[in-house]
A = this chain, B = another copy of it.
Amino acid sequence: MSTHRPTDPGGAPLDDTDRLLLEHLSKDGRASYAEIGLLANLSATAVRRRIDRLRARGVVRGFTVVLDPALLGWRTEAFVEIYCRERTSPEELLASLRQFPEVAAAWTVTGDPDALVHLRAADTRHLEAVIERIRKEPGVQRSRSSVVLSRLIG
């Protein structure tokens, strides 16, 4: 996905240089501007200015450390499809899910279930407990889970 070029984004589209900088930063988010500049034949100052601009535009939301969840002790993950009660708004659902640190991600989706929740837990025991608590949330009618066997990509 890093090289594929989607259709014209809103605002001024990124040029190839921006793409190069972002590609490098996605591999090493702490790379110095000078180092990145070598790659793009740019001075460190120019690199910084471009990144500042991308930041201001919102293209760059920030920088973060990439952790290994398994080595942090989160060895079990699952996807839980949530079926809401009638009149449960996405805001209510969000408020419910926000309580759980085990919720790694969540989306509202089309189709039979109303939402899809990505859970991370220490082990299956922990996972079971979290799912149980989510099922008891007032806006949640029922749920259907599948445990992750292995991460292929991402």
Contacts and interface: CB of A to CB of B under 8 A. Distances in A.
A143 to B, nearest CB: 12
A148 B105 CA distance: 12
Interface stretch (A2-10, A37-45, A132-140): A2-10
Contacts of A93: 152
A83 interface: no
A53 interface: no
Contacts of A30: 29-30, 63
Nearest to A65: B25
Contacts of A118: 154
A122 interface: yes
A120 B4 CA distance: 11
The 5 lowest CB-CB distance pairs between A and B, nearest first, are: A105-B154, A29-B63, A6-B73, A9-B73, A6-B122
Interface of A: 1-11, 13-14, 22, 25-30, 57-68, 71-74, 77, 79, 90, 93-94, 97-98, 101-111, 113, 115-116, 118, 120-123, 126, 144-154
8 contacts: A6-B74, A7-B126, A30-B30, A59-B67, A107-B149, A110-B149, A116-B146, A118-B154
